[in-house]
């Protein structure tokens, strides 16, 4: 007679998957910005190598964010913390867009996306999932 296998976890909760899509889109936006910045490097007032270096920086950050977003969508628990930190780091960007830059529509839209993603990532189900409380051998099961 074979012992019964405990059921495998069903994957990340919907909040985590939705937050993963949002983080991946933020990463894609950074990659698009990097490409556009590199294409305009010749018309900048700064030396071309400075602009290309900045473009490479945004590309690396964008690709890392895409990886974090894909990690969340596919159920990688490690991806939740860098996604939360990223949302917190984007809050000053939102402030800058709304305040000093006076780009209200872009700032409010970005702010809604950042805050919504942050709230999805810190929800009770997301926290429980990240701690492995959905696993069959989790304490309290």
User: What pTM does this model have?
Assistant: 0.84
pLDDT tens digits along 61-117: 999 999 999 999 999 999 999 999 999 999 999 999 999 999 999 999 999 999 999
pLDDT at residue 124 greater than cutoff 60? yes
Following CA atoms 51, 38, 79, 22 in sequence, which dihedral angle do they give, to the nearest 10 degrees?
A: 120
**Radius of gyration of the chain, Cα coordinates, nearest whole angstrom:** 19
* Rounded Cα distance, 141 and 132, in Å: 12
What's 6's DSSP letter?
P
Q: How many residues does the chain have?
A: 141
What count of other Cβ atoms lies within 10 Å of the Cβ of residue 81?
12
Helix axes 14-39, 80-98, angle to 10 degrees: 60
Q: How far apart are CA 80 and CA 72, in angstroms?
A: 7
Out of 42-51, 55-64, 95-104, 117-126, least confident range: 42-51
């Amino acid at each position: 007679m074979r012992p019964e296998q405990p059921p495998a976890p069903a994957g990340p909760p919907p909040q985590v998957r939705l937050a993963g899509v949002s983080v991946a889109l933020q990463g894609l936006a950074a990659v698009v910005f990097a490409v556009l910045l590199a294409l305009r490097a010749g018309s900048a007032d700064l030396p071309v190598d400075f602009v290309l270096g900045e473009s490479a920086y945004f590309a690396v950050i964008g690709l890392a964010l895409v990886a974090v977003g894909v990690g969340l969508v596919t159920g990688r628990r490690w991806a939740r913390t860098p996604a939360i930190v990223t949302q917190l780091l984007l809050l000053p960007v939102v402030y800058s867009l709304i305040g000093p830059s006076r780009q209200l529509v872009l700032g409010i839209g970005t702010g809604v996306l950042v805050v919504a993603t942050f709230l999805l990532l810190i929800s009770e189900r997301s926290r429980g999932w990240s701690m492995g409380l959905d696993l069959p051998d989790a304490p309290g099961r």
